Structure formats: structure tokens, C-alpha cells
Structure 1
């Protein structure tokens, strides 16, 4: 499914864009379901639905959320509660794209919906995905699916090309903070590319690629994104999944295996963090990089 040029771009930059990968009718259905969840959130004042594998809230609310101005910023593993999202992420072209890069054997790890409302304060500091879920090897892809048109005006993601070949600690003073050293943020800003595109575009990103994103400063534009994580079938977890799904390790391409493949080297191992999502974890970082 991917051309040689696209595979080469992924190997060089740590990500590649697949334009128009999701049909408009599918997008419409995904957004309709998300709208239902946003409406339901009006009836809640704090994070809710703890019927999840690790007992953390499925629905994460941003500060300032209210019945009249809902701020549902994340839905953890919508596949666990929606057949529509299961079909999208387990069948069709998405698993095929991932298998082209890390296959032939691939399993689904987890997914989440991120929602930046107009004027939302949520920002994401630079981080890679693998430190949150270290495995015996690092053949993994994070799929970033645009549910809205995205640019810098509504807080699009920013990716650091080539950073998948580098390694940065996500710890400070012995504690996992879910981000790189804040003193490096300016350097990454200078290197980063804004991931702009249209609704229906998909970015395939290496799990070591550094990425972040600013708040949605627009007055009337949503910035909704579906994020799905896939791993090679011979990658086995070194810690419990940070965002566990009841479909964790579901084979979506190829065949399962009971033989783990190891990548030589060293790796930092996090302790499970208590926050319902990594937004709460990152919010502990102050401007000078100290922990609150």
C-alpha cells in the first residue's frame, strides 16, 4: 500500500503523511459518535466511566468543563465501547498501512480520541510514545487520524523530523514526567514541522518520534484527532499498558506469536502513574522544568 518513496520518507523523518486515507462517510460517522459523547459529558462534573481495565476514567474533562460549555478532551479506547471504531481500526487500510512498515505480523495496542475545543488551553509537551509503553522491541507505529482540518491556527501537532533516531529521557529527579527535559523545548520548536492537513488525512509516526502541540487558539474551529497505537506481534510489554484496551494484543495483520524479539540496548522503565490521562501527568511540569 505504501510506495517505496513513502517508506523512505518514514525511515528518514520518522513519519509519513497519507492524504485522504479516510472516506468522508466514515469521518462523518466517527464525528457523529464523538458528538454523542460530548453531549453525554454535559451531565458530568469530573472525569467519569471507570469501567476500564485499569480502573482509570475513560472520559477526561478539561478544566473549565461545564454543562453549558463541555470540554471533553479525551476518550480512552473508544474501540472498547463502539463497533464503529473497532471496524475502522481492526479492518481495512489502516492495519495494512502499518503492516507495510512493521509487518507482516501486527497487533493493536490502544487508541484514544483527543479533542481540542476552540479556545482550549490544553497543550502537549514534546514526548515520544515508546517511553509510556516500553516493549521488548520498538517496532511500533502511532496512527494520527485527522478528524478536522488542522493547521497551526487550531493547534495542530508538531513533529521533530529525525528524532526517532535519537533518545531523550522522560524522567526528572527520578520521576517519570511524560515529556522530555523542558530546557530542550525551544530547540525542538526550531526543528519541528507543523503537521497540517485535511480531515481524513493520516500520519504514520514512529513511536520514538518526538511530537507535541500548542493550544487551540481559534475562536470557532475544533481540532479532533483519533490516535491509534500498533506494535509488531513479537513485541511484548515490559510494563502494564498505560491506556489498556480490552482488545490489547488483538492481531490485525498476519499471525500471533509466543516468541518475543528483543532489541539490544537499555531503556528507562516507568512506574504506573495515577492520573487518568497523560494530560494530568504533563500538567505537573512547570515552566522551568521543576515538578510542582
Structure 2
């Protein structure tokens, strides 16, 4: 099996829980991804509430923040774009990013879900601290997210912020007083904010992130957009123990190697999430979607 990542890069990922790699897709792939995203942003100007061909669980495909207007669109989420775009499907199944995941998790990989998170200029979208595993628990934690940078990503336009090493620590609750808030408690988040580091890079770079790594991000304070194409992959023997928050026709698709006849279990305990019924998880964290008057 050919490898993309060096031994040093693989070791750095397992040490820190995060690794950024440049030139993860071709220039043609990046251009096609951005062309489709630009068309969806343009389409959003004609809508005043979440819209689009529904996802597998009948939620809107496209979600905008409450600040959205035709003049200043605030499209913030495209759910499972690989369902509706050949460009996004190609990158999800057969880009260098997938080979990088195989270098980390082994030769047998399957796909879980994907999305685009967008922070357009003037939008107020932010992400409170959380760990993805608490949204998508599996029988083991060989689960890696590939966050492909569609734009140059900087601290000013709302880059991902992470706390290296937290993938080796506890799985923090995303509940408050019995309600699933999708975010860590305030005191824990304050600690994370004191220790966080930025994940920046040029368009076409990818951030590979362990499912248990603590992360969040601030709003875009610049005049440049920040888009991420986010694909979640698992080892073939990692079996979900909660419903996919973003069900899709490709869930469980083997993208490298072969399917596993067994489920590999590791000792862990995790609260079962309350999956969102709204257009995106941003509402779970308290950020309202645009609403038609």
C-alpha cells in the first residue's frame, strides 16, 4: 500500500490528535469544489430560511444564520454535499485526503458523513468547544475527520482552534441539566480557550483531526470567506452506537480496502447524543437559523 504521510507526520498526529498537510487535493479539484459552493451561496440569496433538496432524514440541505439577507448571505452549512455534487463525491471517495486517513487508521476505511461549514464575511457563525466523538460515538475511536480548507484559513477569518493532546483525555459531557447543548460546560471551555492553538493553512490544505480532540472556533472577523469541506472516516471495524446526526446514502461506504466482519470494541463510556432535528448543529449550540417572516 502506498503512503502519503511520513512516519514523522503519523507520529505527530497520534501525539497531538491533529495534523495539517498542504496540497491535499489537486488545483482542479479545489476549483470545482469552490465553483459549486459559490453557486450555493448565490442560490441562498433567494431564500429567507433553510432550503434545498432535503437530506435523507428530510432536513433542509442548506442552512443560513439568522443574520442572513440577500445582500449579505450567511450560508453556514451544506449537509452531505457529496449527495448532490460530483466534485464533492470525488474528493470524499478518491482524493489524497483519503489515502492520508488510511496511513493513520489502516487499509480498511469507511465513510460516515460530510458537510461544508462556511463563515462568510459578516456572518456571526462560531463553534463552541466540543469533541466530535460525543456526537458520533462508535465501538472504538479510530475515527478521523478531514477538514479540507476551501479558502486560505487564518485566525482573522475564523480558523479551527484546537487543544493538542485532549484526544487522550476524558470525553466531556455535552449536556447541561439533562439537556443536550452540544457544547462543553463553561468552566471546561474556559480552560480549553486558555490552551488552544490555531489551525491555519492555504486553500487546498487539510487538517486531520482525531474524533476526541477538543476544538472550537470564533466568528469570521475579516472580509474573506472561510470554507471547510469536512469528511468523517472510520476504521472499517468501528461500528456506530448512535444514529448518524447526518444520515446519507453513502454512510458505511468502503472507500479503501474491505469491509470488516467484526466490530472492534474498546473500553469507553460516552453519553448518547440527542441528534438535531433542525437544519444543522449550530442551532443545538444556540445559534438560530434564518427564519422566513
TM range (shorter): over 0.9
Corresponding residue to 2:88 among 81, 85, 90: 85
Q: What are the ranges of 5 or more consecutive residues in structure 1 without an aligned counterpart? A: 286-292
Cα shift at 1:252: 0.4
Q: Which of 201, 206, 219 is the aligned partner of 2:205?
A: 201
In structure 2, what is the Cα distance between the partners aligned to 1:239 and 1:151?
34
**CA drift at 1:186:** 2.2
Identify the residue that residue 257 of structure 1 maps to in structure 2: 260
CA contact (8 A) 1:159 1:195 kept: yes
Q: 2:12 aligns with which of 4, 9, 14?
A: 9
Q: Are residue 40 (structure 1) and residue 22 (structure 2) matched?
A: no
Contact 2:55 2:79 in 1 (8 A): no
Q: Judge which range, 275-284 or 69-78, deviates more.
A: 275-284
SS in 2 for 1:149: coil
Give the TM-score of the pair, scaled to structure 2: 0.93
Q: Is the Cα contact below 8 Å between 1:103 and 1:253 reproduced in 2?
A: no
1:204-283 to structure 2, matched below 5 A, reads 204-218=208-222, 220-283=223-286
Does the residue aligned with 2:221 lie in a helix, a strand or coil?
Answer: coil
Which secondary structure state, in structure 2, belongs to the residue aligned with residue 137 of structure 1?
coil
- 1:242 aligns to what SS in structure 2? coil
2-structure distance, mates of 1:120, 1:49: 20
C-alpha distance in 2 between matches for 1:250 and 1:17: 25
Paired residue secondary structure (1:154): coil
- What's the CA shift for 1:176? 1.7
Deviations 1:161-182 (A, max 9, x none): 0010112111111222111112
Q: Distance in 2 between matches of 1:21 and 1:91?
A: 11
Q: Which portions of structure 1, spanning 4 or more consecutive aligned residues, are displaced by more than 4 angstroms?
A: none
Residue matched to 1:162? 165
SS in 1 for 2:156: helix
Q: Which stretch shifts more, 183-192 or 240-249? A: 183-192
Out of 100, 106, 110, the position equivalent to 1:103 is 106
Report how far residue 21 of structure 1 moved: 1.6
Q: What is the CA distance between 1:66 and its match in structure 2?
A: 2.0
Find the residue that maps to 1:96 and give its secondary structure. Answer: helix
Question: Size of the alignment, in residue pairs?
Answer: 284
The Cα shift of 1:258 comes to 3.1
Consecutive unaligned residues in structure 2, runs of 5 or more: 289-293
Residue 62 of structure 1 corresponds to which residue in structure 2? 65
CA distance in 1 between counterparts of 2:13 and 2:258 reads 24
Deviation at 1:103, TM superposition (A): 1.7
2:291 counterpart residue number = none
Give 1:50 shift. Answer: 5.4
Contact persistence 2:20–2:208 (CA under 8 A) = yes
> TM-score if structure 1 supplies the norm length?
0.94
Cα distance in 2 for partners of 1:283, 1:214 equals 14
